[in-house]
Amino acid sequence: MEENQGLENQCSSVSKKTGKRCRHKAMRGSDKCAQHGGMAAGGKRLIDRITARRDDPALMELKSGIATLRTLMDEHLSRLDAIHAGEIDSYNGALDIHGKRLQSLSGELFAAIDKVGRIEERQRRLMTGEEVAALVAELRERVIEAMETMDAGASPAEMAGRLAIAFDSVSLAGRGEDGKED
């Protein structure tokens, strides 16, 4: 029991090389030191920012505007339909009035739909918070492993070479047009 005294504030990571527990102090709110991921709370903030972009009020407002434009177009079309085909002069007059407005509304509608499509496409290509966290965790592990296997007196060039080897096989998963990983 006395062995564990003072370990509650110690990093819980274990060295792959020596098998011993890390001697650094754990970060507040974590069981890891800064080197082993105790400062990873920043990832949660990133997740919050990504979620906020996906629930962007401006995008929701744009979608609401599209619905409004569609409703206005439907209203103008229904007014045209209400005029009986036998009243050709009235129909031509109504077509002149409503046709110009319909043309304007349809231009606005297509532009808004195009903009929403571009925004949603960009969102599909973004990495999710979980994907970013997994990538950061993998990078962290590779750096730690490369540093633990390095000699104590290694030169900066040797360190850089070791890290380059560790990162040779890191790949970022691409996102296709469907938003899923390639």
> Residue 88 in 3-state DSSP?
helix
Q: What is the pTM of this model?
A: 0.40
End-to-end CA distance of the chain: 51
Least confident of 24-28, 73-77, 171-175: 171-175
For 101-121, the pLDDT digits (tens) are 888 888 888 888 888 888 888
